[in-house]
Amino acid sequence: MNTGANEVPETVLASTVAKPFIEELRQGLEKLDRKPKLVGFLANSDPAAVKYADWTKKTSEEIGFEYELRTLDKEDLEEGILQANEDDLVDGIMVYFPVFGNRQDQYLQQVLSPQKDVEGLSHIYISNMYHNIRFLDKEKTQKSILPCTPLAIVKILEHLAVYNSVLPYGNRLYGKTVTVINRSEIVGRPLAALLANDGATVYSVDVTGVQKFTRGEGIKQIKHHVADVDTDWKEAAAQSDVIITGVPSPDYKFPVELTKYGVVCINFSSEKNFGPEVKEHAALYVPSIGKVTIAMLLRNLLRLIDNKKQRSL
């Protein structure tokens, strides 16, 4: 814990945030009669993907899940996914991206059965998230799955009390302004939508420009909408209470001197997007989030198993 003013900012580690979720996962496993099995498909040599795959395996096995990494050629990936979709011994599947690095990757993501999609990137889940729909069925017995990296960031913001628990559930980011530097389909865009659905004003920045995600003035709408805005990303950053970065480049450093003192900084890139000067401005700094992402991945896996049980009742 931070005791003196000299120690600002508090660096918050993903392992600290992940801890209660890992405990919850262990308890969830005790209620099952077998070890759930997660299969990861690796069809590239991207070092970040290889490292992440090794590390998903280690963490899954430590907690008590079974994990199998299937390494194969790009050309065999679709067939491999289809086979795992049909295999009753496989509970969850994930594919490490990028594979082709273009729209074919989005196609491959949709080949994966939604019933086994631990990352929550299937069209049905993303669509439910964009429309703020929480359940898969009318009876509300099967929960929709949220994309695991955006969900991990939400859990981190809850841990940091950026989510104001005095406000009603669903509006807990009302009054907060967030800048997200990344608008990929797997993290940045769904993240902006999720935070805006919870009441925040979100500036989503990528190489092409800035978009603003909100629920309108006074958060009157039930789901977010998106507008292209002229706001310069630097202006957005200056107004923000939270800066979230995901730039996959070792040379990129977010210019933290643009921000307000007391800002909250979170980096989800595998590269360090904040330099040491983050300490001059931030109140709270989260240098990486991977451990929380994996906890959410496995949480989604238990949820998929539960949804399957609900369907068979």
Ligand X SMILES: NC(=O)C1=CN([C@@H]2O[C@H](COP(=O)(O)OP(=O)(O)OC[C@H]3O[C@@H](n4cnc5c(N)ncnc54)[C@H](O)[C@@H]3O)[C@@H](O)[C@H]2O)C=CC1
Ligand Y SMILES: Nc1nc(=O)c2c([nH]1)NC[C@@H]1CN(c3ccc(C(=O)N[C@@H](CCC(=O)O)C(=O)O)cc3)C=[N+]21
Binding-site ranges for ligand Y (CB under 6 A): 48-49, 52, 55, 94-97, 119, 149, 270, 288-290, 293
The reply to whether 265 belongs to the active site is: no
> Minimum distance between the CB of residue 271 and ligand Y, rounded to whole angstroms?
9
Site string for ligand X, 135-174 (x = CB under 6 A): --------------x-------------------------
Number of residues that bind ligand X (CB under 6 A): 23
Quote the least distance from Cβ 176 to ligand X, whole Å: 21
120 binds ligand X (CB under 6 A): no
Considering beta carbons, is residue 81 or 187 the nearer one to ligand X? 187
Residue pair 35/67 in contact (Cβ under 8 Å)? The answer is no
Residue 268 as a binder of ligand X (CB under 6 A): the answer is yes
Pairing state between β 263-267 and 209-214: unpaired
> Helix, strand or coil for residue 137?
coil
Radius of gyration of the chain (CA): 19
**Between 112 and 247, whose beta carbon lies closer to ligand X?**
247
> Which residue in 22, 121, 148, 286 is the catalytic one?
148
Work out which of 17, 90, 156, 187 binds ligand X, going by CB under 6 A: 187
Q: Kindly state the tokens that stand for 243.
A: 């800066």
Site string for ligand X, 277-306 (x = CB under 6 A): ------------xx--x-------------
Range in contact with ligand X (rule: CB under 6 A) among 53-61, 66-74, 82-90, 264-272: 264-272
Residue-level length of the chain: 313
- Assess 194 for contact with ligand X (CB under 6 A): no
Q: State which residue, 112 or 210, has the beta carbon closest to ligand Y.
A: 112
Site for ligand X in 31-50 (CB under 6 A): 48
C-alpha to C-alpha distance for 210 and 190, rounded to whole angstroms: 15
Question: For residues 235 and 306, which CB has a smaller minimum distance to ligand X in the complex?
Answer: 235
Q: What CA dihedral angle connects 112, 117, 118 and 121, to 10 degrees?
A: 90
- What's the closest the beta carbon of residue 46 comes to ligand Y, in angstroms? 6
Those residues with Cβ within 8 angstroms of residue 146's Cβ, 6 or more apart along the chain or in another chain: 120, 125, 129, 154, 194, 296, 300
Closer residue to ligand Y in complex, CB, 206/235:
206
| Helix residue ranges per DSSP H, the chain | 14-30, 47-63, 77-86, 103-111, 123-130, 148-159, 188-197, 233-239, 278-281, 290-312
In this complex, which beta carbon is closest to ligand X, that of residue 170 or of residue 287? 287
Q: In what order do the strands lie in the sheet with 225-229?
A: 10-11, 282-286, 263-267, 242-245, 177-181, 201-206, 209-214, 225-229
Token code pair at residue 107: 């196609």
CA torsion through residues 135, 182, 38, 29, sign:
negative
- Residue pair 57/63 in contact (Cβ under 8 Å)? The answer is no
For ligand X, the binding residues (CB under 6 A) are 48, 149, 181-184, 186-188, 205-207, 246-248, 252, 268-271, 289-290, 293
Q: Give the active site residues.
A: 148
